[in-house]
Structure 1
């Protein structure tokens, strides 16, 4: 059985590019717990808050109970649930999962495969991260679920995987003249740009293309905040866009105000003349699937 391929083919609800990372987040959490204790069961009532936190932190704006993936991941053949009554999940009801003492863990076949081939855990983790989250979140997501990922095993063989365009970064940075589209930062060490990154507006994992109409040159800070939904793109005059800052963001320090809050309503620094700005479809996807809550009103100088 090809567990890596099965991991890549988790059945997820999808419509119009909407994100549904509920199963991948639970799977990552379960792999982490296996890494810590291969025989441990995850009692729903015990892990519910951890899963709820992960969904709130790394899921889309529309909240879903962790009972949903706890029940439905069983259908993918990698997860099993039992209750005090015996094998089988009681359903997606939170009350039923709590009251029946529902507990889940990786299937016996998968646990055996992970024991035989320890690097398999790393390969499966890479698939879950690559297909569901942008690279800027991989490190902190592993920390959030408690996974210690071995760097030695990063390969994934799958004919169905799209290949990234390695020219994307240079193409985007050149188009934006090596400055952050949100704050104008343009740092270099000698002739080498430092702290500047090419951000996908519509994530690559969700069919976001490697082209200029889906790319922004952002500094490392604003790239992370953009991928976390703190910052977004709103409509502006003509082809220009304006910066959105989430009302959910809280920062009382001078640095938080200067680097984040005061960006609200500012125009985005666009690409060079003659190059097209972010496509409306990609901007709309980010607004609906990543941006958190409502935008703050524009700040005044």
Structure 2
């Protein structure tokens, strides 16, 4: 049985590019628990809060109970559920899972395969990370789930698997003249840019192309906040800051909250700005909650079509 292929083809609800990482998050959590205790099981009532936190932090803005993946992951052949009455899930309702004492763990055939080939676990985890989350979140997702992975390739290939365009980073950074589109940070170590990254607006894992109009040059701090849904881009290419974000320190106020309503520092003339359909995907699938109100800034000289460049002083990100 090809467990990597099965991992890559989990049945998920999909419509219009919507994110549905509920099963992948549960699967990553279960792989982590297998690392810690190969014979253990996950009693729903005991892990419900852990799964809720994972869904709240790494799931889409529309919240879903962890009971949904706990029940439905069984259909993919990698997970089993039993209750006080015996094998089988009682359903996808929280009340049913709690009342029946439902407990889940990896399917017996998968547990046997992982015992025979310990490196399989890491390869499966990397397939899940690559297919459902941007690289900026992989490290902290491993920490959040408790996974311990070696820095290695997945060892998995498929004719249909997309390949990243390694030129994208340089194309995007050049387009934005090596400045963070949110704060203007433009640090270098000698001639080498440092702390600047090419962010996919529509995530590569969800069909986002390696095109300049799907990219933003962002500093490391604002890239992470953009991928976590704290920041976004709204109408008029103005920066969105989530009302769910709380930061009382002067640094948080200056680096994040003060960005609300500020226009993006756009790409140089002749370069396509972020495409509306990519921007809309990020707003609906990644950005959390409603945006904070922001006072419109005075319009300045136009760069890159409709993008305006505010007069900002570059600041080094602190996170």
Q: TM-score of the superposition, structure 2-length normalised?
A: 0.92
1:194-234 superposed Cα distances (whole Å, 9 cap, x missing partner):
00000000000000000011000000000000000000001
Which one of 245, 249, 254 corresponds to residue 258 of structure 1?
254
Stretch of structure 1 that moved more, 129-138 or 290-299: 290-299
Gap regions ≥5 residues in structure 2: 298-319
C-alpha distance in structure 2 between counterparts of 1:283 and 1:152, whole Å: 32
C-alpha distance in structure 1 between counterparts of 2:276 and 2:12, whole Å: 26
C-alpha distance in structure 2 between counterparts of 1:97 and 1:180, whole Å: 47
C-alpha distance in structure 1 between counterparts of 2:47 and 2:149, whole Å: 21
Give the structure 2 partner of residue 117 of structure 1: 117
1:127-169 superposed Cα distances (whole Å, 9 cap, x missing partner):
0000000000000000000000122453322222100000000
Give the structure 2 partner of residue 23 of structure 1: 23
Displaced runs of 4+ in structure 1, greater than 6 A? none
1:249-285 superposed Cα distances (whole Å, 9 cap, x missing partner):
0000000000000000000011110111000000000
C-alpha distance in structure 1 between counterparts of 2:246 and 2:152, whole Å: 38
1:51-70 superposed Cα distances (whole Å, 9 cap, x missing partner):
01100000001010000000
Gap regions ≥5 residues in structure 1: none
Alignment map for 1:80-229 (pairs within 5 Å): 80-152=80-152, 154-229=154-229
Give the structure 1 partner of residue 283 of structure 2: 287
C-alpha distance in structure 2 between counterparts of 1:135 and 1:270, whole Å: 24
Q: Report how many aligned residue pairs link the two structures.
A: 297
Q: Deviation of residue 299 (structure 1)?
A: 4.1
Asked if the contact 1:122/1:153 (under 8 Å) is kept, the reply is no
C-alpha distance in structure 2 between counterparts of 1:190 and 1:261, whole Å: 31
C-alpha distance in structure 2 between counterparts of 1:56 and 1:213, whole Å: 29
Give the structure 2 partner of residue 278 of structure 1: 274
Asked if the contact 2:262/2:296 (under 8 Å) is kept, the reply is no
Q: TM-score of the superposition, structure 1-length normalised?
A: 0.97
1:95-138 superposed Cα distances (whole Å, 9 cap, x missing partner):
11001000000011000000000000000000000000000000
